[in-house]
């Protein structure tokens, strides 16, 4: 057993004042673990945030760092710690022996492989190649992990299926733990322990809205697999009934530099403009700082979170919906995901059928009704107490305190090390090729500049010579 294991958390997304779901998750998991044992939070770029007690912040790259530079930096950090928790392990840059002798926790809370299905559906030319790459990465991660975590019991069923195909379910595991919680357990998105407190202005000041205007907030990002269009059409349907009704999209531009604004954002703006709702009933904001999010939610009457009916939606866990619960807002949600199940079970909002404008409009009427909204808010306090970060992180904290390996070989194929060496060789060859291409391009630029200088005539000398002649 390791004495006070050192823990490394690798954040794949921005850690800073403006954070999206993944960054928020890793910041809070580091905070919870750091209260019990030393933890390093590795961030994609340097951050100005003050680390929580027990947490050391280390950047594994600058803003202009290459993928290879980040990979090598992460491999060094993995070697320096006993336990690594990450969505992606830098297996192409780390020695197989190092990975074999460390405890690896794979965080599967965001089934990105299903998101890539949506990318491939919308943009087959570029999306399919990325999806195939991610399938390869996922197969390696399933073979590397000692412990896995996901966001819901529904996700756990999905991942148990993939782990079965990856050869990770062994009879010996079942003898020790028939439920297999020692292999994969649920660590959902959490909520702060402290109650939200307004510290500054929110959407009413930002968009000059009236203090009594009925205000709906879309507090998550706007991605192609979500459904802001139906929300906007529902506002158009209700505008005559509620002349002062407002819908605010709290963040349409992700703070992560690697995440571009998606096409659905422009579609939503265009639709709001066509329906004569833009900047009258429907408003778009770039993003809100993490520590200011409650200022926007506490000014709102209800929240809206809608998705298109896809396989991604069935297994997704809409992380920013948890902030809705924290701030005590009734929610209008699409049916079909696990948070819709929570809303139905606890009666803290209204459920609409995906893509059904009339159904969404009916749900909005419900959450705007004073008596109905009051009843929903009364149920929210009981729900939020179940989802504090300290509570939801318990399975992860238990593993980090006393990490285990269910099998020395992780149930893998004897040829896994050979394949890992081949992958590493391929990665090193690709690195060399990229450097060679950059050097050749730089040399070509220099030669072109020289040729240009030689070819350019000295017009002043030629002019003076003609004058003398």
Report the pLDDT value the prediction gives residue 257, as an integer from 0 to 100.
43
Report the pLDDT value the prediction gives residue 204, as an integer from 0 to 100.
97
List Cα–Cα distances, 362 to 9, 27, 340, 344, 368, in angstroms: 43, 38, 16, 16, 10
Could you tell me the two tokens for 16? 């800073």
Q: Are 45 and 69 contacting, i.e. CB atoms less than 8 angstroms apart?
A: no
Rounded to two decimals, the pTM is: 0.80
Report the pLDDT value the prediction gives residue 458, as an integer from 0 to 100.
54
DSSP 43: E
- Render pLDDT for 176-224 as a digit per residue (tens, 0 to 9): 899 999 999 999 999 988 899 999 999 999 999 999 999 999 988 888 8
Q: Following CA atoms 57, 60, 62, 64 in sequence, which dihedral angle do they give, to the nearest 10 degrees? A: -150
DSSP 291: G
Handedness of CA 388, 393, 394, 400 (dihedral sign): negative
How far apart, in whole angstroms, are the C-alpha atoms of residue 103 and residue 79?
11
Secondary structure of the chain: what % helix, strand, coil (to 5)?
A: 50, 10, 40
Could you tell me the two tokens for 222? 């706007």
Report the pLDDT value the prediction gives residue 345, as an integer from 0 to 100.
94
How far apart, in whole angstroms, are the C-alpha atoms of residue 376 and residue 330?
6
Report the pLDDT value the prediction gives residue 263, as an integer from 0 to 100.
85
Q: What's the N-to-C CA distance of the chain in angstroms?
A: 94
DSSP 305: E
Report mean pLDDT in 10-residue bins for the chain, 469 residues. Answer: 86 88 93 96 94 96 90 96 96 91 96 82 78 88 96 96 93 90 96 92 97 95 90 98 97 62 88 98 92 95 94 87 92 94 95 97 97 94 88 97 86 50 52 61 70 58 50
Q: Read out DSSP for 408-430?
A: TTTT--TTHHHHHHHHHHHHHHH
| Residue carrying the six token digits 């749900």 | 363
- Render pLDDT for 149-174 as a digit per residue (tens, 0 to 9): 999 999 999 999 999 999 999 888 88
Report the pLDDT value the prediction gives residue 403, as an integer from 0 to 100.
96
């Amino acid at each position: 057993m390791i004495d006070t294991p050192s823990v490394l958390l690798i954040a794949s997304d921005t850690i800073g004042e403006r954070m999206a779901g993944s960054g928020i998750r890793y910041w809070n998991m580091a905070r919870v673990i750091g209260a019990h044992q030393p933890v390093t939070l590795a961030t994609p770029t340097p951050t100005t945030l003050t680390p929580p007690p027990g947490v050391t912040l280390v950047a594994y790259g600058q803003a202009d760092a290459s993928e290879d530079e980040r990979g090598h930096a992460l491999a060094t950090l993995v070697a320096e710690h006993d336990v690594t928790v990450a969505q992606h392990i830098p297996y192409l840059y780390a020695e197989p022996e190092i990975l074999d002798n460390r405890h690896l926790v794979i965080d599967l809370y965001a089934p990105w492989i299903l998101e890539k299905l949506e990318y491939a559906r919308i943009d087959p030319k570029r999306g399919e190649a990325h999806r195939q790459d991610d399938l390869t990465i996922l197969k390696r991660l399933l073979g590397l992990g000692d412990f896995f975590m996901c966001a819901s019991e529904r996700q756990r069923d999905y991942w148990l299926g993939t782990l079965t195909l990856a050869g990770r379910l062994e009879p010996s595991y079942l003898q020790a733990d028939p439920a297999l919680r020692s292999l994969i357990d649920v660590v959902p998105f959490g909520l702060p322990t402290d109650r939200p407190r307004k510290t500054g202005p929110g959407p009413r000041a930002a968009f000059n809205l009236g203090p009594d205007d009925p205000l709906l907030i879309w507090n998550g990002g706007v991605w192609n697999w979500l459904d802001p269009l139906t929300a906007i059409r529902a506002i158009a349907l209700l505008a005559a009934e509620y002349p002062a009704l407002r819908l605010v999209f709290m963040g349409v531009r992700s703070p992560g530099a690697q995440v571009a604004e998606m096409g659905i954002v422009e579609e939503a703006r265009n639709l709001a403009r066509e329906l004569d709702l833009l900047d009258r009933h429907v408003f778009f904001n770039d993003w809100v700082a993490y520590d200011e999010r409650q200022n926007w939610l506490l000014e709102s009457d209800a929240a809206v979170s809608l998705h298109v009916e896809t396989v991604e939606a069935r297994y997704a866990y809409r992380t920013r919906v948890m902030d809705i619960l924290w701030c005590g807002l009734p929610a209008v949600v699409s049916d079909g995901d696990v948070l819709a199940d929570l809303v139905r079970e606890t009666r803290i909002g209204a459920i609409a059928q995906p893509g059904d404008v009339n159904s969404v409009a009916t749900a909005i009427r419900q959450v705007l009704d004073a008596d109905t909204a009051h009843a929903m808010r009364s149920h929210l306090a009981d729900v939020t107490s179940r989802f504090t970060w300290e509570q939801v992180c318990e399975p992860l904290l238990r593993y980090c305190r006393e990490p285990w390996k269910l099998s020395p070989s992780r149930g893998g194929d004897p040829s896994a090390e050979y394949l890992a060496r081949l992958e590493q060789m391929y990665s090193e060859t690709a690195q060399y090729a990229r450097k060679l291409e950059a050097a050749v391009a730089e040399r070509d630029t220099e030669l072109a500049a020289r040729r240009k200088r030689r070819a350019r005539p000295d017009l002043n000398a030629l002019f003076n010579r003609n004058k003398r002649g």
